[in-house]
Amino acid sequence: MSSRRYPDTVDVAIVGSGPTASTYARILSEEAPGVTIAMFEVGPTVSSPPGAHVKNIGDAKRRSLAQRASEGPGAGAETVNSPGAVKSGERRARPGTYLLPDGYAFPGEDGMPVAAMSSNVGGMAAHWTAACPRPGGQERIAFLPDLEQLLEDADRLLGVTAHAFDGAPFSDLVRGRLAAVVDEGRDRAYRVQPMPLAVHRRKDGGLVWSGSDVVMGGVTRDNPEFELFDESLVTRVLVDDDGRAGGIEVQDRRSGESHQVAARYVVVGADALRTPQLLWASGIRPAALGRYLNDQAQVVFASRLRDVEAEHSPTAADGALSEQSGVAWVPYTDDAPFHGQIMQLDASPVPLAEDDPIVPGSIVGLGLFCAKDLQRDDRVAFDDDARDSYGMPAMRIHYRLTGRDHDVLERARQEIVRLGKAVGEPLDERPFVLPPGSSLHYQGTTRMGAADDGESVCSPDSQVWQVPGLFVAGNGVIPTATACNPTLTAVALAVRGARRIAEEITSSLLMSKSDIRLTK
């Protein structure tokens, strides 16, 4: 007997439960009440409320279990907390993520050896660092006149603040030392400043990291027309005879059964690798699908603040960021096309001498993310004859750093040493370039365009050009080469798409009501 747990029909079917998919659920709940919404997530629920950041789980053992449960087919593999620790050359995922097991590199190409994913309610945003800087210069999407307003909406949905670590010891000092070597000649928006972060403090002072739970908010959770189905793999987007999206096919991972759910709109927010995978598996294969894949090459370095003494400070918490830690932002500019994230750490990433106690907050990890030189041939392709561990078409990543990428990386290496020396005494002999994929910021694979010219997959509203009713969400939609952390921008783009659906559904409901009145 079938144990179907899904509705037969909904207005909107949403694939994935990361922050961008959750943006659709939130905006529709706010702006189109009464619309039925079903969200399908392949991974399990690992936190409460569903989608909450696992760092908010106080108990270390439960937190570790939640991370393991998010690692899909990779669960059980060794993970690595700090990106710098991959210096040993090993391929290791960060906790809560798993690596593409094969097809990540081909002879003569750089590949993307540490391309990673998360499979859990909340997606990668149950594990992220929550840095939410705004894009600047050429990172911005020139054909979107309302981008600034959308970014403000995204700040609201993610709960972004630049003041979470105002009390951290030495954060003013770090920013001051960076500003002295960076700010000259820069407009105010591009000067050194506190990193905007998606975090808030509870009344008792404890930190809460935003995940999809914050994006969804009470308005989604309390919406009687919204349902979230975990452990549900969407295997196909259904397309009606007229070419319009008509629903989804979903495999219940608990029972193994497959079902169809009819929907007027389908939103796929299944990350920048699996969104194009699902479209491909559905026979939706626009020329730009999977192309212009880009990751932000990352250079890391560490320094120890000079001339600082321990201040009174709370006990260090677990994780890369704790009560001691400030995060400074050196914004991207078109002239210096890297984005700087300078984090005070509570422990040294390299062992110091035993008789050399660490002043909390005095070790500074520096990271520069570089904007990629976009190439059409950089792509995630899919193999119809091979399956991944979920039974979906296997991914094949073709990825190369160009001469320009190497030039930018060399400039980033020099810049990071300059910044490291400005704040203190370098702990590293030289900066380290992480393997491609380390940024966890994959973009471009379902890119937005101003026109359907074969170079983009979706419209400025995120609707797939050739398939009305089908929307894509996530970092893959971002068409520019950003160096800054992309989630805020991807959420902003999702706000626009969600509003388009809300408007269309609301006006069609109004029209059908007036039709009823006319025929009475």
Q: Provide the minimum distance between the beta carbon of 197 and ligand FAD in the complex, in angstroms, as a whole number.
A: 8
Integer Cα distance of 31 and 393 in angstroms: 36
Position among 111, 431, 436, 474 found at the interface with ligand FAD (CB under 6 A): 474
Site for ligand FAD contains 366 (CB under 6 A): no
The count of residues interacting with ligand FAD (CB under 6 A) is 39
Site for ligand FAD contains 127 (CB under 6 A): yes
Integer Cα distance of 485 and 162 in angstroms: 15
Q: Provide the minimum distance between the beta carbon of 515 and ligand FAD in the complex, in angstroms, as a whole number.
A: 36
Stretch that binds ligand FAD, among 45-53, 115-123, 254-262, 311-319 (CB under 6 A): 115-123
Site for ligand FAD contains 239 (CB under 6 A): no
Residue 494 contacts residue 20 (beta carbons within 8 Å): yes
Site for ligand FAD contains 475 (CB under 6 A): yes
Could you give the residue ranges of the DSSP H alpha helices within 161-204? Answer: 171-182
| Residue whose pair of structure tokens reads 């569903």 in the numeric block | 50
Helix (H, G, I), strand (E, B) or coil at 285: coil
Which tokens sit at 515?
A: 């039709």
Site for ligand FAD contains 131 (CB under 6 A): yes
Contacts of 503 (CB under 8 A, 6+ apart): none
Residues in the chain: 520
Position among 67, 97, 171, 294 found at the interface with ligand FAD (CB under 6 A): 97
Contacts of 460 (CB under 8 A, 6+ apart): 143, 144, 448, 449, 450, 496
Integer Cα distance of 371 and 138 in angstroms: 10
> 413-442 mask for ligand FAD (x: CB under 6 A)?
---------------------------xx-
| CA 483 vs CA 127, 274, 439: distances in Å | 20, 22, 10
Comparison of 70 and 324: residue with beta carbon closer to ligand FAD: 70
Stretch that binds ligand FAD, among 27-35, 45-53, 293-301, 480-488 (CB under 6 A): 480-488
Site for ligand FAD contains 128 (CB under 6 A): yes
Comparison of 63 and 304: residue with beta carbon closer to ligand FAD: 63
Cross-strand pairs, 472: 268
Residue 393 phi, psi (nearest 5) = -55, 130
Query: In this structure, how many other beta carbons lie within 10 angstroms of the beta carbon of residue 154?
Result: 26
> 175-214 mask for ligand FAD (x: CB under 6 A)?
----------------------------------------
Cross-strand pairs, 424: 305
What's the one-letter identity of residue 57? I
Site for ligand FAD contains 42 (CB under 6 A): yes
Position among 36, 45, 47, 118 found at the interface with ligand FAD (CB under 6 A): 118
Position among 67, 120, 438, 445 found at the interface with ligand FAD (CB under 6 A): 120
What's the one-letter identity of residue 242? D
Site for ligand FAD contains 20 (CB under 6 A): yes
Stretch that binds ligand FAD, among 114-122, 171-179, 354-362, 405-413 (CB under 6 A): 114-122
Comparison of 417 and 495: residue with beta carbon closer to ligand FAD: 495
Stretch that binds ligand FAD, among 11-19, 73-81, 200-208, 501-509 (CB under 6 A): 11-19
- 441 catalytic, yes or no? yes
Query: In this structure, how many other beta carbons lie within 10 angstroms of the beta carbon of residue 152?
Result: 15
Contacts of 107 (CB under 8 A, 6+ apart): none
Per DSSP, 51 falls in state T
Residues carrying an active site annotation: 441
For ligand FAD, the binding residues (CB under 6 A) are 15-21, 40-43, 94, 97, 118-120, 123-125, 127-131, 233-234, 269-271, 274, 278, 440-441, 474-475, 485-487, 490
